[in-house]
Amino acid sequence: MKSVEIINIDVSYGAKKILEAISLYADKGEILGIIGPNGSGKTTLLKAMSRIVAPDSGEVRLNDQSLATFNFRELAQQIAVVPQDIAISFDYTVREIVMMGRHPYIGRLSSETARDLEVCDRAMHLTNVAHLADSSVHEISGGERQRVLIARALTQEPKVLLLDEATSNLDISHQIEILNIIRDLTGSVTVISVFHDLNLAACYCDRLIMLKEKKIVAVGEPEDVLTRETLKAVYGIDALVKPHPLTGRPYVLPIYERTAKDRPTERVHVVCGGGMGSDLLYALHKEGFRVSAGVLTVLDTDYATVTALGIPCVAEAPFCAISPDARSELERCIDEAHAVVITAMPIGWGNIENIRILERRRNKPIILLNSKTQSFQDFTGGEAEAIVRGLLDRGAVEAERVDRVLQILRETA
């Protein structure tokens, strides 16, 4: 059942159009997240739902009834809003602020009933502010004040809870604490929340709505909305989207630097595996080297890195030895490369070909990235170690850190 439905609304402040042709709905009891860059109209969309702004055209409906037909008190019994921190001018106590949530239920000539007090107490217990009831709202921390505002919203006993980046001023532990409280409400309460943090949105929302420049660009479950393509199109960032290892929800990992100047003449082949090459691959990619990698099995962590960075790679099926096809592909890569970097990695019978192949390429500059924390692990009973030692004897250079590797590559270019 649709709890909130927006049918084709346009909203503007004066002559400035803020939202255009927005249609969406929220099912009863779900958590709907609104995401999008600054200035995309997220907060205005929330204000249209709480009737702070009226749409120029179109309609907002609550439980199949037009929002415009509710009076102020009726609306406050249905919809509660948790703002981003508010400036409270006077020295109210926590209990006084929370009790204000009962305002839509108390008549002008009446005062609070026992039931009002009970609802207020329950909300304070739920949000863990009961112990602060008699403290001044100016004496408590930002996280506590935010919990007080949530308690006040719960005291309204709303059917719909709107949150405007209600946790963005808080540290991560308070964000999680508050979002957990809100998630526990679902079923009975429809939650619509603006999020700044995409990963929190992905973790807590059933569905997401992504806005860009006044319009909705994507709607759906988090994994459908948060993709590399939409992030590029909406936020203009390059980011990896991975399933969170524990929750399975999409997790956005921005690639912080953009590719620098191109260095097209210098081609580097990286032999790596077991996740030992990721930082090197990223550094080379960032510095503009033309990089190739392999042979890697498709389950390898380093394989995930090269696909994320778009680096050409010789791939092999998991748990297989290197096939003749892969081997000749590797030879081609190494021949084309200006230099080869071998990172410390576990070497077994499956991937020993990767280094054995170098024994016959005496003129190729070879760098071994072999730090104190990261060293070769030999699972071949000494053979791999012998090869590595042989390479060093024939002039391979050892480097302890990634930036040293980059320096050597620049010098040999």
Rounded Cα gap, residues 322 and 270, in angstroms = 16
Binding mask 64-83 for other proteins (x = CB under 8 A): -------xxxxxxx-xxx-x
For position 349 contacting other proteins by CB under 8 A, the verdict is no
Beta carbon of residue 149, minimum distance to other proteins (angstroms, whole number): 9
Residue among 119, 146, 148 at smallest CA distance from 133: 148
Rounded Cα gap, residues 125 and 265, in angstroms = 66
Beta carbon of residue 15, minimum distance to other proteins (angstroms, whole number): 14
Task: Give yes or no for a contact between 3 and 63, defined as CB atoms under 8 angstroms apart.
Answer: yes
The piece of 34-42, 99-107, 125-133, 283-291 that touches other proteins (CB under 8 A) is 99-107
Task: Give yes or no for a contact between 366 and 337, defined as CB atoms under 8 angstroms apart.
Answer: no
Rounded Cα gap, residues 235 and 37, in angstroms = 6
Write down the residue that tokens 């026992």 correspond to: 114
Half-sphere exposure (Cβ direction) of 5: Cα atoms closer than 13 Å: 10
Residue from 87, 245, 264, 360 that binds other proteins (CB under 8 A)? 87
- Report the site for other proteins in 147-186 (rule: CB under 8 A): 152, 156
How is residue 412 written in tokens? Answer: 């040999």
For position 121 contacting other proteins by CB under 8 A, the verdict is no
Rounded Cα gap, residues 276 and 55, in angstroms = 55
For position 109 contacting other proteins by CB under 8 A, the verdict is yes
Q: Which helix (H) or strand (E) holds 251?
A: strand 250-254
Task: Give yes or no for a contact between 149 and 166, defined as CB atoms under 8 angstroms apart.
Answer: yes
Rounded Cα gap, residues 289 and 59, in angstroms = 54
The piece of 45-53, 58-66, 301-309, 340-348 that touches other proteins (CB under 8 A) is 45-53
Q: Which amino acid is at 371?
A: S
- Report the site for other proteins in 199-238 (rule: CB under 8 A): none
For position 108 contacting other proteins by CB under 8 A, the verdict is yes
For position 100 contacting other proteins by CB under 8 A, the verdict is yes
Identity of the residue, 89 or 373, whose beta carbon is nearer to other proteins in the bound complex: 89
For position 114 contacting other proteins by CB under 8 A, the verdict is no
For position 4 contacting other proteins by CB under 8 A, the verdict is no
For position 43 contacting other proteins by CB under 8 A, the verdict is no
For position 88 contacting other proteins by CB under 8 A, the verdict is yes
Residues that bind other proteins (CB under 8 A): 47, 50-52, 71-77, 79-81, 83, 86-93, 96-97, 100-101, 103-104, 106, 108-109, 152, 156
